[in-house]
Amino acid sequence: MRPDFHEDHPLAFIKNWAGGLMTTAGLTNVGAPGEEGIENLVQHGNYNRIAAKNVQYEGMWEGDEYRLQIRGRIREVAPFYPNLELRRKITTYLGSNKIKIEDEIENIGFRESPFMLLYHTNFGFPLVDESAEVIVKSKISGFKEGAPTHDVADWNKISAPVHGIAERVYYHDVESDITGYCSAGILNKNIGDGRKLELIMRYKKEQLPILSHWKMMAEGEYVVGLEPANCHVEGRLREKEIFKTLQYLQPGEIKQAGLEFEVKLY
């Protein structure tokens, strides 16, 4: 989102969001808007309205592989407010079917700061259609407040677009492998001519312990979101008071996070 298109309204994210494979939500609020002290906690935080600084792009050979990489930093800072910086590196290789995102988040202020981070990954057609299903080894650990739950047994199924259907939002406790990594993705078993299309994400459970699963099967809003995060998607106040899982960064503290995408066509 371009910063000059930002609208200072609690729910402006809905109207301004440009979509795309991944949107970052945070860094001090994720999900529902609210207010805490002097802070206006807009939906999914301020990250997407802040212009990146020190953006650098390079391509270079590493042996027989050609690496493509872009770097930049986002600073969410203001007097009397939290002061956080996210430094991002996105890497792929020529001809590769993988993209890796590596983030480093630092509290560059002098006060303790709430820290909420969600990778809002969004999948649509042709990956998402009635031949597809969500692939994740997990158990449902909860639901977004107010979301329907009567058809939870079908959480991994993807239907054709349905007129007027409401969104479903599930929380997954994803099982990690012996290296501490989680996997989640979507497999479409037939995108034509009997071919299969699969997209897989991998990330560290320690960094992103909660996977939000957004299932929206409505016409014109047909999407499945698989969203690794260090929090739920119901805003800072509920994260602190209801879930009691709000994370904080101390002055000078740095945390790492990130994920890797892999696409397979076979």
d(CA 25, CA 76): 12
pLDDT value for 18: 75
Side-chain-side CA neighbours of 231 within 13 Å: the count stands at 32
CB 70 within 8 A of CB 57: yes
Tens-place pLDDT, residues 44-53? 999 988 999 9
CATH of region 3-265: 2.70.98.10
Parse the chain into domains and list their residue ranges.
Answer: 3-265
Compute and round to an integer the Cα radius of gyration of the chain: 19
180: its two tokens: 């501490």
CB 182 within 8 Å of CB 149: no
Instruction: Give 216-253 pLDDT, tens digit per residue.
Output: 999 999 999 999 999 999 999 999 999 999 999 999 99
Rounded distance, CA 243 to CA 151, Å?
24
From 112, 116, 128, 94, select the one nearest 45 (Cα to Cα): 116
| pLDDT 10s digits, 14-53 | 777 777 899 999 999 999 999 999 999 999 999 988 999 9
Percent of the chain clearing pLDDT 90 (strictly above): 89
- Beta-bridged to residue 230, according to DSSP, are none
